[in-house]
Amino acid sequence: MIKNLFIKGSIFYIIGAIFSLFFSYLFRIILASNLSLEEYGLFYSMLNFILFFLVFRNLGFNQGVVKFGSDFLSKKNFNALRSLLCFVISSQFIISTIFVFIFIFISDFLAQNYFNLLYSSFLFKVFSIYFVTSLLSLLLRPIFRIFYMSKQINTFEPLKNLLIVILFLIFNYFFDSLISAILALVVTPIFVFLIFIPSLSKLISKFTNVGANDYTIIPNFLFFSFPLILSDLGGRFINYFDTFMLTSMKSLIDVGIYNVLLPSASVLLLLASPIILFIVPYLRKNIKNNFLKANIFYKKIINGFLLLSLPIFIFVAFFGIKYLGFLFDIKYLSGQYVFIVLVFGVLLNSLNLINFQFIYSYYNTKIILFVNIISALVNVLLNFFLIPTYGILGAAISTFISYLLIFFLSSHFIKNKFDVYNLFNFNVFLTIFFSLFLIVMLYSFINSIIYLGIIFSFFYFMYLYCIYTKYGKEIDVLI
């Protein structure tokens, strides 16, 4: 039964995701209160620079490890599994070390010509060590997934983000706030690895007395993993290239504001996460190749998600900036229109992620590779043209258009099996009208953010009750 599948398959994931988001956002709030806007922008400019180049360290290996590792485990081929893990760990460690030396070598150049702050050279040298230490925690997740260690999977991200907050507060007592934030990110993966050593030690016995390593499995592994680099690279261009352009063409103050607005809007992805989690298992278990049922299911998923989430997206788009001004600083209120564009970009990205689940189930994943590359190229061009003139608004528009293009392209590729041209039903448009009417009323008469939240929550739960009463069958597939 789909309700049981949803509850059992996603409840702990959702709880973990909520705590992870909370601690991640708490770190941003604490950081913003301890740093100047320029320092805040510098921190995330350096971080995003490093995160972008991680794609050349990861090499698509993490997805490949889960796929091949799970196959080897099911066949009890622990020799091949150990060989695979040894190859991945050693190769990624070597690549990480090389990148650290490269970053240290170019740090002075970046400080003078990219960050435009001479003192950032030392900070970037320290930050570059994250390229190595992050490998410790990065390799834990695929291992936990291979061995179905659900408790470790669900506690990994919340624990990591909590440790970042704790370590920052400790370091901040002894050092400057900016170096403390960098040290917290650099050191946290080490503590995470140490905490999970007992879990890993239980697996060691499985790899003893299994003979010498067998590296004949590596060519097939590389053949599967390398194409994923391009897909990952396309996604990273969309996620990080706007920060590169803002750093080089505008100012670190713009980077700081943008790196509050974009993550704040991205929190809304949590609304789609439980749906995305169970789509593929449900399709494989209950529908398989019955495309008539799959098409009906697809429409229910899309329309059900929009019915439940559209009022929240619209409310956050128009009033979320007031809450950000309260949590961070009044200076972030200057990003009102930027935030609106980003929120609706996140809505499109949520629909894209749902589309991708159906592509994973019924199509070749090269479609996603193609879609991501085309969208990334468009994103790069738009950033070049829009950011010099419009700043962070240009970056937001570029992101929105990129997600819109992904939606159109992914919908185009699945149109032969799914009725994408008659996707949205009348209820969705009615929801948009209801939400906009409520927003206009609230905007006209209510100024207090507390009263705004209370009144919206009341009407939203009334709306949910009416929707479920009248269109329960449409929504039941989601819960």
Cα separation, 150 vs 164, in Å, equals 22
Whether residue 235 sits in one domain with residue 195: no
Within 283-335, residue ranges assigned H as helices are 291-327
DSSP states along 242-257: HHHHHHHHS-HHHHHH
Q: Which residue has the higher pLDDT, 169 or 426?
A: 169
Per the structure, the count of domains in the chain is 2
- For the cut 70, the answer to whether the pLDDT of residue 423 exceeds it is no
Domain that holds residue 289: 228-479
Give CA 152 to chain center in angstroms: 19
Give the residue from 163, 181, 213 where a domain finishes. Answer: 213
Long-range contacts, 402-405 (Cβ 8 Å, 24+): 402/238, 402/375, 402/376, 402/378, 403/238, 403/345, 403/346, 403/348, 403/349, 403/352, 403/375, 404/348, 405/374, 405/375, 405/378
Whether residue 239 sits in one domain with residue 209: no
CA dihedral 8, 9, 12, 13 (to 10 degrees): -170
> What pLDDT does residue 37 have?
83
Percent of the chain with pLDDT over 70: 74
- For the cut 60, the answer to whether the pLDDT of residue 210 exceeds it is no
pTM recorded for the entire structure: 0.79
Looking at the domain assignment, is residue 3 inside a domain? no
> What pLDDT does residue 444 have?
61
CB-facing half-sphere around the CA of 89: CA atoms within 13 A: 13
**Which of 143, 233, 221, 136 has the alpha carbon at shortest distance from 185?**
136
> What pLDDT does residue 167 have?
94
Q: In this structure, what token pair is assigned to residue 234?
A: 């396309």
195, 151 Cβ separation under 8 angstroms: no
Largest CA distance in the chain: 74
Give the residue from 213, 244, 276 where a domain finishes. Answer: 213
Looking at the domain assignment, is residue 16 inside a domain? yes
Whether residue 413 sits in one domain with residue 321: yes
Looking at the domain assignment, is residue 2 inside a domain? no
For 74-88, 216-230, 277-291, 372-386, which range has the lowest pLDDT when averaged over its residues?
277-291
Q: Residue written as tokens 């490093």?
A: 50
**Which of 354, 116, 129, 64 has the alpha carbon at shortest distance from 248?**
116
Q: Residue written as tokens 């698509």?
A: 60
Confidence of residue 479 (pLDDT cuts 50, 70, 90): very low
Cα separation, 321 vs 47, in Å, equals 24
Give the residue from 160, 188, 213 where a domain finishes. Answer: 213
> What pLDDT does residue 105 have?
93
